[in-house]
Amino acid sequence: MAKATIRYVCQACGAVTPKWAGRCETCGEWNTVEEEAVVARPGPAAKQQPGRSIAFVGLAGTAEPPPRAAIGIAELDRVLGGGLVPSSAVLVGGDPGIGKSTLLLQAAAKLARSGKRVLYVSGEESIDQIRLRARRLGVADSAIGLAAAINVRDIVAALEQAQDTTLVVIDSIQTMWMDAIDSAPGTVAQVRACSFELIRLAKAGNFAVVLVGHVTKDGALAGPRVLEHMVDAVLYFEGDRGHQFRILRAVKNRFGATDEIGVFEMTDAGLAEVPNPSALFLAERRGNIAGSAVFAGLEGTRPVLVEVQALLAPNPGGSPRRSVIGWDSGRLSMLLAVLETRAGLRLNQTDVYLNIAGGLRVTEPAADLAVAAAIASAAFEAPTSPGMVYFGEVGLSGEVRQVAQAEARLKEAAKLGFDAATLPRRVAHGNRRLAAPDGLRLEEIGHISDLVGRFAPESGTKKL
């Protein structure tokens, strides 16, 4: 007879302890340790089946891999690496209310329109609510198979009979439940067991399963990281409630690149693709203001222009504040130190606020030069020239370093009507000509002090 024992599992990090605690000793989170019942496996004394021998095969197979199913939403297909891979599992994470259900209903409808069989299982909304949403999205006529269910055993029974299915959406994995596990839906044990079962079915049934997962406040998928390594791809849907646009970002993808983003705009009729994000991010830019510089960035394979804003406020005596939105605060500290020691820009009695306008999160070191330009521009109250973009990495000795894909960045800048770019000086051995678009003036700089010098008044002294 299998015996049930009790153990305590942290819902944030998955650590198991024999005793309950208010605070997880492994990850330090409060109130995350919960009781779980485990049914003990029969001990070694019990009769066990010997394993069957597995067959090994060579790398060069004869079978063609099945083709990907392109969904037809370009922004989504690109992040997936070209469409859905049969027998794969994708996790779509994001804050509640960010638009995951909307995106997946639209994707399901689009795929169903191309004649594929698509099933949508919701554990959060009733059939009527989903129908209402479908009507709002203008996809009510598409032939999706819809179900409201939370019992994975029932779902499995239904899916085993559903032949030729291309996509199954499970919205959300935290509402799913298996009676074999004696804990509530949304706990680590349930999420893990339900996902395992659904993923196993996807592998056997040749369809792609998309699991929707809500994230917790600290950004980890609730029920938590255990899911990330079980699936083939992890996509995060992010954005600011204050902003209309949403970004779909791949953080793991066994079948594609992980730095791709898809940009969408939330409208009255659901999510609309944004094929040209630069125009969106720069839409509210006002020229001729000190402290603003346009960064020619790269998100995956796509160049994206964003505005970097810096605000400096004097703070004599106190310890200066550094506040960053959309960029790495450690990187800002480094850049401020470089500006101070290598270019003489004293900011130790100044609060520095940095913002990537529009809510985008920039991770590229290539943004250094644009950030430095925004700070220098704010420090000397001298606006950057309105038609100028910036890109380049800044090293600790103040040198400005080359970054990848300069040509793609320049091309995007020219496309959006910019007429000049400040970029790293090409080193002597790089003898390949930089193919800059016609009419784009290139200003190459080798050291951060050259950049600061452009904003400094003739006297060379700083106003602040």
Partner whose footprint covers residue 78, from Mg ion, ligand TYD, none (CB < 5 to 8 Å by kind): none
Stretches 93-101, 269-277, 339-347, 424-432: which one binds Mg ion (CB under 5 A)? Answer: 93-101
Residue 96 binds which of Mg ion, ligand TYD, none (CB < 5-8 A, kind-dependent): ligand TYD
Q: Kindly state the smallest distance separating residue 94's Cβ from ligand TYD, in Å.
A: 5
Minimum CB–partner distance for residue 159 and ligand TYD (Å)? 22
Looking at the Cβ atoms of 98 and 336, the one nearer to Mg ion is 98
322's contact among Mg ion, ligand TYD, none, with CB below 5 to 8 A by partner kind, is none
DSSP, collapsed to helix, strand or coil, labels residue 78 as helix
Which residue has 């406020």 as its token pair? Answer: 313
Are 49 and 87 spatial neighbours (Cβ–Cβ below 8 Å)?
Answer: no
Q: What is the 3-state secondary structure (H, E, C) of 209-235?
A: EEEEEEECCCCCECCCHHHCCCCCEEE
Minimum distance from residue 101 beta carbon to Mg ion (Å): 3
- Which pair of tokens denotes residue 445? 């700089």
Q: Site for Mg ion (CB under 5 A): how many residues?
A: 1
Q: How far is the CB of 358 from Mg ion (least distance, A)?
A: 24
Choose among Mg ion, ligand TYD, none what residue 138 binds, the Cβ cut-off being 5 to 8 Å by kind: none
Nearer CB in complex with Mg ion: 155/352: 155
By CB under 5 A, residue 174 contacts Mg ion: no
Smallest distance from ligand TYD to CB 111, Å: 17
**Identity of the residue numbered 12:** A
Q: CB of 270: closest distance to ligand TYD in angstroms?
A: 4
Grouping H, G, I as helix, E, B as strand and the rest as coil, residue 280 is helix
Q: What is the DSSP-derived secondary structure letter of residue 236?
A: E
CB of 154 to ligand TYD, least distance (A): 22
Which range binds Mg ion by CB under 5 A, 14-22, 99-107, 355-363, 376-384? 99-107
Q: Which is nearer to ligand TYD, 222 or 298 (CB)?
A: 222
Angle at 317 between CA 314 and CA 322, to 5 degrees: 55
Least distance in angstroms from the C-beta of 171 to Mg ion: 6
Smaller CB distance to ligand TYD: residue 244 or 385?
Answer: 244
Which of residues 241 and 346 has its CB atom nearest to ligand TYD in the complex? 241
Q: 3-class SS at 21?
A: coil
**190-196 long-range contacts, Cβ below 8 Å, gap at least 24?**
190/223, 191/222, 191/223, 191/226, 191/227, 192/223, 192/226, 192/227, 192/230, 193/152, 194/152, 195/89, 195/227, 195/230, 195/231, 196/230
Q: Indicate which of ligand TYD, Mg ion, none lies near residue 139 (CB less than 5 to 8 Å, by partner kind).
A: none
User: SS3 for 87?
Assistant: coil
User: Which region, judged by CB under 5 A, interacts with Mg ion, from 98-106, 133-141, 161-169, 341-349?
Assistant: 98-106
DSSP 3-state percent helix, strand, coil across the chain (nearest 5): 25, 30, 45
392 is in the binding site of which of Mg ion, ligand TYD, none (Cβ under 5 to 8 A by kind)? none
- C-alpha 69/C-alpha 54 separation (Å) is 31
Give yes or no for residue 101 binding Mg ion (CB under 5 A): yes
Q: Any contact of residue 195 with Mg ion (CB under 5 A)?
A: no
Name the residue nearer to ligand TYD (CB basis): 266 or 282.
266
8 Å CB contact between 173 and 211: yes
Binds 166: which of ligand TYD, Mg ion, none (CB < 5-8 Å by kind): none
Which among 101-109, 174-182, 187-195, 227-235 is the span making contact with Mg ion, rule CB under 5 A?
101-109
Complete edge-to-edge strand list for the sheet that includes strand 145-148: 145-148, 117-122, 165-171, 208-214, 89-94, 233-239, 245-253, 261-267, 270-273
Q: Which residues pair with 168 in a beta bridge?
A: 119, 209
d(CA 94, CA 390): 31
Residue 274 CA to residue 302 CA, distance in Å, equals: 12
Q: Which residues of 43-66 are buried (b: 16+ CB within 10 A; e: fewer)?
A: eeeeeeeeeeeeeeeeeeeeeeee
Q: Which is nearer to ligand TYD, 205 or 223 (CB)?
A: 223
Q: Within positions 206 to 235, which residues make up the interface with Mg ion, using CB under 5 A? A: none
**Residue 462 near which of ligand TYD, Mg ion, none (CB within 5-8 Å, type-dependent):** none
For the purposes of burial, counting CB atoms within 10 Å of the CB of 460, is it exposed (0-12), middle (13-18) or buried (19 or more)?
exposed
Cβ proximity to ligand TYD: between 266 and 421 the closer is 266
As measured in angstroms, the least distance from the Cβ of 79 to ligand TYD is 16
Smallest gap from Cβ 98 to ligand TYD, in A, equals 4
Name the residues that contact ligand TYD, by CB under 6 A: 94, 96-102, 133, 136-137, 266, 268-270
Residues making contact with Mg ion (CB under 5 A): 101
